[in-house]
Amino acid sequence: MSLTDTKILSQTLPKSFDAGRALKLARSTLQIEADAIIALKNRISDDVNDPFAQAIALLLNCSGRVVVSGIGKSGHIARKIAATLASTGTPALFIHPAEAAHGDLGMVTEDDAFIAISNSGETAELMAIVPIIKRMGASLIAMTGNQDSALAQLANVHLDVRVDQEACPLNLAPTASTTATLAMGDALAVALLDARGFREEDFARSHPGGALGRRLLTHVRDVMRSGEAIPAVTADVSLSLALLEITRKGIAMTAVVDEKFHAIGVFTDGDLRRLIEQVQDFTKLTIADVMHANPRSIGPDQLAVDAVHMMEQFRINQLLVTDATGMLVGALHIHDLTRAKVI
């Protein structure tokens, strides 16, 4: 922040503002919430009968979906937990308890597991639908701050997310309690993804629009140049004609192929620059005289990120794409990978 920005900030703050108190409250908030998560960690034992272990077993054995529900701030946390579960290999959805009482309960089946979130454990909207869910036969996991609450007593498994105090100076606004509940949801999701053997590839399939999805789902054939866009000449053509092919195709190289279109060599603009330093007369040279034989190549079904690794390893900007027989089927430039956002 510049000196000018600092002056503007100081001018816009009310005179009654106590910066020292604000900073103290900020540190206090973070400490209270950190302590709440540590307390949560200490409640999970190594016992296989621990409620957390029972919740994991229940969710792993669920043949339907995990339905997460809560209202108010707990509803926001429930939405996030459902989203995290869904993106890490556990089919999940959020339903609003009030909407559930007016028809959305039709989304819940006896094969589902229902996670009900309420700090008090007495939320009226949840308690209106929980008995129906129990009669339906769905499993019930409760996350509350009161193990003696009606919700906790009805649950198949109760996860205790109580906190000693909220970070709010009035001890009223849900702060530490929502943080603890969110952390418990993350702990469930992480334990489940590990138990399911969830891998990077699985994560990518749930996030095809993200950077990881592009890296793990994009194959060479998706980004390579093919057909007429492939720069290729036969070994007997002159170097001059080969240079014209490089210029026409705009990939700064050309492949050299035999009569069956198998890749037998490559010539790049870098090779040309080095050649200029050594040779004065190009007219008598064929591409076979100056090409690199046995060129590096990659298969069309390999991941595009593998092409990136090859280019980095060998410090090259282009790759030929060949099939299992060595036939040239495509060409790849590092700019193609950049445009596809693989890099």
Segment 239-264, tens digit of pLDDT = 999 999 999 999 999 999 999 999 99
What are the residues whose beta carbons fall under 8 Å from the beta carbon of 217, sequence distance 6 or more? 204, 205, 208
Q: Quick check: 7 pLDDT over 70?
A: no
Higher local confidence (pLDDT), 204 or 32: 32
pLDDT in tens, 106-129: 899 999 999 999 999 999 999 999
pLDDT in tens, 133-159: 999 999 999 999 999 999 999 999 999
For 70-201, list the strands marked E by DSSP.
92-94, 113-118, 139-144, 157-160
Beta bridge partners of 266: 255, 292
Cβ contact 142:116 at 8 Å? yes
pLDDT at position 207: 53
pLDDT at position 151: 97
CA 158 – CA 149 distance, rounded (Å): 10
CA 131 – CA 142 distance, rounded (Å): 13
pLDDT band at 10 (very low <50, low <70, confident <90, very high): low
Looking at 3.10.580.10, 3.30.930.10, 2.120.10.30, 3.40.309.10, the CATH number of the domain 220-339 comes to 3.10.580.10
Domain ranges across the chain:
26-198, 220-339
CA 233 – CA 244 distance, rounded (Å): 10
pLDDT at position 137: 92
Q: Quick check: 73 pLDDT over 90?
A: yes
CATH homologous superfamily for the domain 26-198: Glucose-6-phosphate isomerase like protein; domain 1 (3.40.50.10490)
Hey, how many other C-beta atoms are within 10 angstroms of the C-beta on 153?
11
Predicted TM-score (pTM) of this structure: 0.66
Does 26-198 match 220-339 in CATH topology? no
